[in-house]
Structure 1
Amino acid sequence: MSFNNLDQLYRQVIMDHYKNPRNKGLLEDGNLTVDMNNPTCGDRIRLTLKVEDGKVTDAKFDGEGCSISMASASMMTQTIIGKDVETALNLSKIFSDMMQGKDYDDNIDLGDIEALQGVAKFPARIKCATLAWKAMEKGVKEES
């Protein structure tokens, strides 16, 4: 697949998550709630997680912001549900490395998250993409 076709596919994945967010809303029975914002561009998120026995059993987000921040939140919740906290934190580290243009373990299937790798070319948008991930990190670290 050519670079242009791949770029177009990634844009479609991002816009799909933005227009049809997965796990949007708040958990009634969540045991972790984290509010974060990105004052640079006005993105804000409320992340609710249900963590049981060291495993993320459910995750939802609410908030408003640009397509990158909302798509990333949708992708992040899909990715961490069912994972143990250690794995979720490791995925966050991999995502952060990808956003900063660093080498990362590309043997791990990141699924739709890979569509955000182009954000690394736009430093001002990296905070948008990592907002939900930072909220998740903060929540699970405070909980443990």
Structure 2
Amino acid sequence: MNDKQDALRELYQEVIFDHNRNPRNFHKMADADRHADGHNPLCGDQLTVYLRVADGIVHDASFVGHGCAISTASASLMTEAVKGKPVEEVEALFRDVHALLTGGQGAEAPARDVGKLAALSGVKEFPARVKCATLAWHTLHNALGGEHGTAHTE
């Protein structure tokens, strides 16, 4: 690995640590019109994602729950990323981030700039932790689709 890659990895790790220590949008949203639960039985991560959607726009997003650092950071980064975006764009972001995390098509170069979410890209090097990072995203996807079952990473 070269110095630039080392510096980038260090920056990404700091973003994850920061969002774990100080998660953004970590609260139950009283006026949410959509929500979904998520559970990763392998790690014990559990969360609920809350959304306020109107006129095809995700106006607000939050989450509550408990989990490992990667799960919490991913949920925190996700809620920041989706606020104010059209539902269609949020669904496209879900697909891009899922590909980024799982090493699927578009993993090296997502269709759009994912910004701070790129900090999660290193997770794919640790297959057991990918489910931790994708849990919030699967739960978001369920909330957007009005699915009431619990999202799982299995």
Task: Report TM bin, short chain.
Answer: over 0.9
| Aligned partner letter, 2:82 | I
Shift in Å at residue 106 of structure 1?
Answer: 3.4
Shift in Å at residue 107 of structure 1?
Answer: 5.2
Q: Which moved more, 1:92-101 or 1:102-111?
A: 102-111
Give 3-state SS (helix, strand or coil) of 2:94's partner.
helix
- TM-score, normalised by the number of residues in structure 1: 0.94
User: Any unmatched runs of 5+ in structure 1?
Assistant: none
CA-based RMSD of the aligned residues comes to 1.3
- TM-score, normalised by the number of residues in structure 2: 0.89
User: Any unmatched runs of 5+ in structure 2?
Assistant: 148-154
Give 3-state SS (helix, strand or coil) of 2:72's partner.
helix
Taking the TM superposition and a 5 Å limit, the aligned residue runs for 1:98-109 are 98-104=100-106, 105-106=109-110, 108-109=112-113
Aligned position for 1:136: 140
Runs of 4 or more, structure 1, over 4 Å off, are none
Aligned position for 2:46: 44
Shift in Å at residue 18 of structure 1?
Answer: 0.6
Give 3-state SS (helix, strand or coil) of 2:37's partner.
strand
Q: Percent identity?
A: 43
- How far apart, CA to CA, are the structure 2 residues paired with 1:61 and 1:98? 22
Aligned position for 2:55: 53
- How far apart, CA to CA, are the structure 2 residues paired with 1:140 and 1:107? 21
- How far apart, CA to CA, are the structure 2 residues paired with 1:67 and 1:73? 10
Taking the TM superposition and a 5 Å limit, the aligned residue runs for 1:74-113 are 74-104=76-106, 105-106=109-110, 108-113=112-117
Residue deviations 1:6-38 (CA, integer Å, cap 9, x gap) = 111110010011111111101110001111110
- How far apart, CA to CA, are the structure 2 residues paired with 1:2 and 1:17? 23
Shift in Å at residue 4 of structure 1?
Answer: 1.1
Aligned position for 1:72: 74
Give 3-state SS (helix, strand or coil) of 1:71's partner.
helix
